[in-house]
């Protein structure tokens, strides 16, 4: 039985990858951080009681900032594959906490690679690094492919640049099977609530149900190449099953604006929107309502506004990936379109909003977090 170790198992990708590897028959180990409250919601459905015989899902306390802990876990597990998905992954937050982001995202990757080498596992353990389209930042070529020069635009992207190159370096220096998946944005109903797609689907579902009144956005002109996380974790595995380690761009090859994603999400709820004004004065106004998902709304309501607080000190305006190499060499094509993904995300968030609204109606209001 193959053993995999996933850092970031409690995150969006970690949870889908763990499901995928368990289905493939792997023994799956994951590193979770100590927190003051439960933080395993995304993997609770696959949790296995460690007391049962032959449990194939095991969590270890750890942190990417802690070398001795990482070395001990790798020594205990002796993994065939390590997937380094753990990261301070929020670009805007990396401007607030640049040093911590570098420690986790850049040095954390080095710590893992060194642990594998130090333990003499460099010929046994295959290593996947969660690299990112943010490396392209101020884009030097459209679309972006494996050979496009990097130009990172945030402390997050600069940290990930180090992680990218140290992965290449350990492959070249020590003959390790180590590779980078340069993944473009991928989302799902499990996406963190403060990333733009989830903020939109959750925010609009809450507005439709009368739990919030307005969605405050940053740069709605930003263009992204969005795919579904479920499609993308398959690639992470596939990249470790080749004869030779190589780096791959994973993307859909289509881009849309943040504003378009707002329009689709609103339409899924039966809301037609008109955008008016420019820059920080731009607003989204309800022009028509269909169906019965929006008891709290009426035509003319302003439900989208711009708050400069969400602008970034340096922005990545446009990203568009060219996944030709992945398609030709690994036979990979994304199965879920961005519109299907949007529908799934809105449906999930609407269900949750309806639950909250019902509780509120009967006097059992649970506060809905709107901090984002």
| Number of Cβ atoms within 10 Å of the Cβ of 17 | 28
Active site annotation includes 174: no
Q: Which stretch binds ligand GDR (CB under 6 A): 110-118, 167-175, 190-198, 352-360?
A: 190-198
Interhelix angle for 12-23 vs 229-239, to 10°? 60
| Number of Cβ atoms within 10 Å of the Cβ of 52 | 8
Min dist. Cβ of residue 83 to ligand NDP (A):
9
Mark out the alpha helices in 141-290 (DSSP H runs).
155-174, 196-208, 229-239, 258-268
- Across the beta sheet with 81-84, the strand order is 57-61, 27-32, 3-7, 81-84, 126-132, 178-183, 248-250
Among 14, 137, 152, 189, binds ligand NDP (CB under 6 A): 14
| Number of Cβ atoms within 10 Å of the Cβ of 274 | 11
Min dist. Cβ of residue 248 to ligand NDP (A):
12
The answer to the question of residue 85 lying near ligand NDP (CB under 6 A) is: yes
Contact assessment for residue 109 and residue 163, using Cβ atoms and an 8 Å cutoff: yes
Active site annotation includes 156: yes
Min dist. Cβ of residue 241 to ligand GDR (A):
23
Active site annotation includes 282: no
DSSP percent split of the chain into helix, strand, coil, nearest 5: 40, 20, 40
The answer to the question of residue 132 lying near ligand GDR (CB under 6 A) is: yes
Nearer to ligand GDR, 71 or 257 (CB): 257
Between 96 and 135, how does the x/- string for binding to ligand NDP read (CB under 6 A)? --------x-------------------------x-x---
The answer to the question of residue 137 lying near ligand GDR (CB under 6 A) is: no
- Active site amino acids: 132, 134, 156
Please give the residue ranges that form the binding site for ligand GDR (CB under 6 A).
89, 91-92, 132-134, 184-185, 194-196, 199, 217-220, 222, 224, 258, 310, 312, 315-316
């Amino acid at each position: 039985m193959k053993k995999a170790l996933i850092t970031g198992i409690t995150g969006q990708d970690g949870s889908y990858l763990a499901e995928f590897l368990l289905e493939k028959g792997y023994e799956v180990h994951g590193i979770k951080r100590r927190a003051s409250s439960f933080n395993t919601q995304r993997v609770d459905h696959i949790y296995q009681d460690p007391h049962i015989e032959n449990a194939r899902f095991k969590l270890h306390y750890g942190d990417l900032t802690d070398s001795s802990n990482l070395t001990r876990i790798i020594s205990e597990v002796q993994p065939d594959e390590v997937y380094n998905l753990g990261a301070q992954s929020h670009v805007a937050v990396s401007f607030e906490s640049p040093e911590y982001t570098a420690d986790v995202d850049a040095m954390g990757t080095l710590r893992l690679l060194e642990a594998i080498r130090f333990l003499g596992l460099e010929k046994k353990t295959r290593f996947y690094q969660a690299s990112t389209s943010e490396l392209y930042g101020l884009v030097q070529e459209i679309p972006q492919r494996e050979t496009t020069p990097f130009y990172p635009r945030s402390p997050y992207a600069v940290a990930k640049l180090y992680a990218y190159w140290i992965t290449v370096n350990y492959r070249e220096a020590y003959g390790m099977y180590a590779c980078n998946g340069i993944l473009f944005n991928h989302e799902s109903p499990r996406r963190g609530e403060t990333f733009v797609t989830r903020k939109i689907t959750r925010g609009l579902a809450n507005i439709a149900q009368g739990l919030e009144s307005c969605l405050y956005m940053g740069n709605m002109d930003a263009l992204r190449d969005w795919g579904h996380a479920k499609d993308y974790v398959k690639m992470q595995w596939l990249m470790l099953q080749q004869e030779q380690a190589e780096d791959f761009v994973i993307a859909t090859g289509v881009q849309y604006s943040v504003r378009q994603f707002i329009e689709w999400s609103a339409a899924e709820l039966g809301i037609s929107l008109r955008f008016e004004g420019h820059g920080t004065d731009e607003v989204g106004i309800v022009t028509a309502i269909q169906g019965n998902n929006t008891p709290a709304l009426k035509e003319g309501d302003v439900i989208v506004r711009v708050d400069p607080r969400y602008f970034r000190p340096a922005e990545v305006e446009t990203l568009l990936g060219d996944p030709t190499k992945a398609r030709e060499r690994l036979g990979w094509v994304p199965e879920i379109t961005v519109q299907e993904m949007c529908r799934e995300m809105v449906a999930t968030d609407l269900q949750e909003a309806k639950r909250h609204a019902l509780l509120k109606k009967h006097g059992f209001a649970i506060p809905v977090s709107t901090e984002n």
